[in-house]
Amino acid sequence: QKEVEQNSGPLSVPEGAIASLNCTYSDRGSQSFFWYRQYSGKSPELIMFIYSNGDKEDGRFTAQLNKASQYVSLLIRDSQPSDSATYLCAVRSSNDYKLSFGAGTTVTVRA
Amino acid sequence: DGGITQSPKYLFRKEGQNVTLSCEQNLNHDAMYWYRQDPGQGLRLIYYSQIVNDFQKGDIAEGYSVSREKKESFPLTVTSAQKNPTAFYLCASSIRGALETQYFGPGTRLLVL
């Protein structure tokens, strides 16, 4: 079982719609969770992080964490063509500082 | 202007050759990391360093070596022992601690001639 799993996509959404991305993880003791956006040929850039159960909102992005079910999700509201990218979920393990990354979900926002 | 720089942007390696990828940061971050990304895959950790003069192997360290002589610099050498080096190499840094966030440099794309 992979440590961090994401649907690879592609996830295609119309402009203005909500894109919903999911990520599950295997280490029950994980404490911090990150979403990165990666444009083709570029390096990952941090969108947001979440540590506590519940929702965290930042602009059009909302991260949701459910530690009991071991999943974290990212919602992108009012999707724009500029949101077309691969979204990487990363989880910090419970016993060291390393991040484990999922393979990423590719999102395409069609105009 | 703080940030992480990686050079070169593209690097070509001949068979049997060792090559070194540069990573420099002026963010005063304690920890630095090297990842490898292959097409359609997530990032895999090669090496990481929490403090100067100390580093640990990640999940795929074979065929790679690093040094951490200065806080700002964490160069990665891809040795001839790495038989499949073609990949996108990413350097990251963070403040050392339990909840720190990693920030990435622009990456180096390594190709084999």
- pLDDT given at position A31: 85
Interface contact B45-A99, CB threshold 8 A: yes
Taking only the tens place, the pLDDT of each residue in A28-59 is 888 899 999 999 999 999 999 998 889 999 99
pLDDT at position B11 over 60: yes
- Of B39 and A78, the structure prediction assigns the larger pLDDT to A78
* Lookup result for tokens 């690879």: A8
- Beta carbons of A81 and A111 less than 8 angstroms apart: yes
- How sure is the predictor about B15, in pLDDT bands with cuts at 50, 70 and 90? confident
Which of A99, A100, A106 would best serve as a mutation to test chain B binding (most B beta carbons within 10 A)? Answer: A99
What is the β-pairing status of strands B10-13 and A105-110?
unpaired
Beta bridge partners of B19: B78
Interface contact B45-A97, CB threshold 8 A: no
Q: Which residues of B touch A103 (CB under 8 A)?
A: 40-42
- Of B96 and B47, the structure prediction assigns the larger pLDDT to B47
- How sure is the predictor about B98, in pLDDT bands with cuts at 50, 70 and 90? low
Long-range contacts of B66-73 (CB under 8 A, 24+ apart): B66/B34, B68/B32, B71/B28, B71/B30, B72/B24, B72/B25, B72/B26, B73/B22, B73/B23, B73/B24
Taking only the tens place, the pLDDT of each residue in B66-93 is 999 999 999 999 999 898 999 999 999 9
Supply the mean pLDDT for chain B: 92
Which of B35, B89, B102 would best serve as a mutation to test chain A binding (most A beta carbons within 10 A)? Answer: B102
Burial of A69 (0-12, 13-18, 19+ CB in 10 A): exposed
- Beta carbons of A88 and A104 less than 8 angstroms apart: yes
- Beta carbons of B70 and B54 less than 8 angstroms apart: no
pLDDT at position A12 over 70: yes
- pLDDT given at position A98: 82
